[in-house]
Amino acid sequence: VQLVESGGAVVQPGRSLRLSCATSGFTFNFFGLHWVRQAPGKGLEWVAVISPDGDKKDYSDAVRGRFTISKDKSKDTLYLQMKSLRPEDTAVYFCAKDGGGGIGDFWGQGTLVTVSS
Amino acid sequence: EIVLTQSPVTLSLSPGERATLSCRASQNIGNDFLAWYHQKPGQAPRLLIFGTSSRATGIPDRFNGSGSGTDFTLTISGLEAEDFAVYYCQRHGNSPPYTFGQGTKLEIK
C-alpha cells in the first residue's frame, strides 16, 4: 500500500490550493480515505473523510464550507480542494487509508501547505 | 464534540521500563472505540491499536490498549529504543469527527 501526497505550496491568505494523494496497492473503490493535518510543532488534526463510493463526505468544523474532499476512481487519486485559506491552515497535510470506522491504517508522508502573505 | 485529553504531556522513562499513557474523553464514547498511533520526527503516524484493544498488523505484543467509557490506557511493557516517540489517541467508530488527543511525548530518561 502506498499513498503519495503532492500539491503543497506557499500561498497567500484567501487564495485556493488543491492537494492530491496518489494511491496504489489496494482496491481504491473499497476503502474510505482521510485527510489529516499537523501544524508545525503541533498534534494531529482530523480534517475530512470520503466514503468508498465517494458519495458521503464529512469535515471538521474548522474546514467545513471551505474545503472539499473528492476522489477520482479512474486515477486512484484523492483530492482536497482548499479555498479561502487562512494562516491557521498552515500544516503538513497527510492522506490516510481508512482501515474501518475512521482509523488510518496506512498513511502518506505528507505535503506542506504554508499560508502567509 | 468529544474532546480527548492525554496525560502526561511528557513521559521520561528508560529502556526496559513500562510506560502507561492515558487518554480521557470529555464524555462517554459509548459504542465508539479508541485507536492509538505513534509518530517519530519527520514521519507519518503509525497505527498501533484500534478497537480500543486490538493490535494492528505487525505491532508487537508489548503494546496493549484498554479502557471504556471515558478512560483509556496504552501500556507499553519493556520499552525498546524504537518506542520513544509521540503517541496520539483517536476516537473512532460509526461517525466523524475522528478526534485526536493532543499527544504524549515518550522520551528517553
Going from the first residue of chain A to its last (117 residues), give the mean pLDDT of each consecutive group of 10, the final group possibly shorter.
98 98 97 98 98 96 98 97 98 97 96 97
pLDDT value at residue B1: 87
Interface contact A55, partner B, CB < 8 A: no
Instruction: Extract the C-alpha cell encoding B1.
Output: 464534540
pLDDT per residue over B24-49, tens digit each? 999 999 999 999 999 999 999 999 99
Contact present, B91 and B82 (Cβ < 8 Å): no
Interface contact B43, partner A, CB < 8 A: yes
Best interface-test mutation with A: which of B98, B100, B104, B105 has the largest number of A CBs within 10 A?
A: B98
Q: Which of A61, A100, A104 sits opposite B45 (nearest CB)?
A: A104
pLDDT value at residue A102: 94
Residue B30 Cα, gap to closest chain A Cα (Å)? 14
pLDDT value at residue B94: 83
- Ranges of residues in chain B whose predicted pLDDT is under 70: none
Angle (CA) A95-A31-B57 rounded to 5° is 80
pLDDT value at residue A30: 97
Helices (H), chain B: none
